[in-house]
Amino acid sequence: MGHLKGVLSNCEYGNLRQKLEEIFKLMLVLWCRQCEVNRLVAPEPCESDKTVVVRRGNEEFGFRIHGSKPVVVSAIEPDTPAESSGLEVGDIIISVNGINVLDKTHSEVVKIAHSGSEILELDVARTCEVVASLAHEGGPAALYSGYLWRAAPLRPHHPPRWTRRWFVLKRDNCLYYYKTDSSIHPVGALMLVNYQLTEEDAGKPHGFRLQRGGGTRLQLAADTSEAAARWRAVLAHAIDASDQRDGWLEMTIRNMKLPPSSIPRPDCFGYLMKLGSKWKSWAKRYCVLKDACLYFYNDGNSKSAFGMACLHGYRVQTCAAGGKKYAFEVMPTEPKQRHFYFHTESEMDKKRWMAALEYSIDRWMKAG
């Protein structure tokens, strides 16, 4: 894909990307149907084909779905029946209580699941490991990978605590880090836009630092001087490439100039109450989520966005900000980065937004 950006216009590249996403989605549906056929004729069940039983507890099953035709499990809440059932994020739901839902919309699947039954028997196609492995360090998107030491400051004027992590630099000029080289899901990601790279001996040899302005800072160290030199070289190249306007950045800037109804295929949209960072007051904003970017508008009829939050590498969790009943937080992996707080008018709308944010961020990481 990186070579195509050079020969196609941004519009053509965007159209091609959309077509490829549609083809990939169709391939998943066909793959699910093949799993159904295999289940009927094979003497033993396919490893990717699972039947999961979820019993309702405290009026909820404890999982969320996203998408349409097919729907995908996008989140599983802790200490719920869904967590103990064996259901996994990324599972494609084939049937619910014997009803085939591959061709059902999101709302139709929700209606079937809440039709009064206390038990859900779900036939699922397990694609999580397959799809995620494509974006892991051995995939074609990786430019360079290896272990580095990452500093986590404890308190001001105290020495940092160093943790060994598996780092992967990908072709989107984003630096991902994982717990180990066998981990599938990253614990964080750093977009190398407007960053500076400097050598630094912060209490550990072979150290260097990534910093953007006076804000986000990532202190790293390698095991040897050769490894440190190699990492500095590839990161410097990635930073230079990121400073040049790429297709993703141009698309993001273009989306900010569009009215909310003109952003193609958004992951979620609607009104949210947003907590301001300066005055600490709540303001009603119309929001559109697309590829882990959240665009802010004064209302649904605005001609353009007045702001945007890039949520790559962020996590979503429930909170009690301002004593609001239906509040949630979008938090970064680095404490110095900005936190975002929102609340909705209902529990259902809160779950809709949280599921969409988790899905959009996770999908961006996997497609990186």
Structure token digits, residue 278: 């300066």
Q: Check residue 342 and give its pLDDT.
A: 94
- Give pLDDT tens digits for 90-132: 778 888 888 888 778 877 888 888 776 788 888 887 654 444 4
Decide the pairing of beta strands 71-76 and 49-55. Answer: unpaired
For residue 270, list its beta bridge partners.
287
Exposure string over 46-63, b if 16+ CB within 10 A, otherwise e: eebbbebebebeeeebbb
Segments in the chain below pLDDT 50: 1-5, 41-48, 128-140, 245, 366-368
Return d(Cα 352, Cα 350) in angstroms, integer.
Answer: 5
Residue 252, judged by CB atoms within 10 A of its CB (0-12, 13-18, 19+), counts as middle
- Give pLDDT tens digits for 316-359: 888 888 788 899 999 886 666 788 999 999 888 888 898 888 88
Q: Check residue 328 and give its pLDDT.
A: 94
DSSP string, 187-235: SEEEE-SS-EEEE--SSSSSEEEEE-TTS-EEEEE-SSHHHHHHHHHHH
Reduce the DSSP state of residue 2 to 3 states and report it: helix
Q: Check residue 260 and give its pLDDT.
A: 92
* One-letter identity of residue 342: F
Residue 167, judged by CB atoms within 10 A of its CB (0-12, 13-18, 19+), counts as buried
Reduce the DSSP state of residue 295 to 3 states and report it: strand
* One-letter identity of residue 20: L
Q: Check residue 130 and give its pLDDT.
A: 42
Decide the pairing of beta strands 327-331 and 161-170. Answer: unpaired
Q: Check residue 243 and give its pLDDT.
A: 57
Name, in order, each residue with C-beta under 8 angstroms of 243's C-beta and a sequence gap of 6 or more.
193, 194
Q: What are phi and psi of 91, to 5 degrees?
A: -65, 135
Return d(Cα 319, Cα 341) in angstroms, integer.
Answer: 8
Which helix (H) or strand (E) element contains residue 150?
strand 142-152
Q: Check residue 244 and give its pLDDT.
A: 53
Structure token digits, residue 37: 């056929």
The whole-angstrom distance between residue 110's C-alpha and the CA centroid of its chain comes to 23
For residue 175, list its beta bridge partners.
169, 190
Q: Check residue 339 and give its pLDDT.
A: 86
- Separation of first and last alpha carbons in the chain: 11
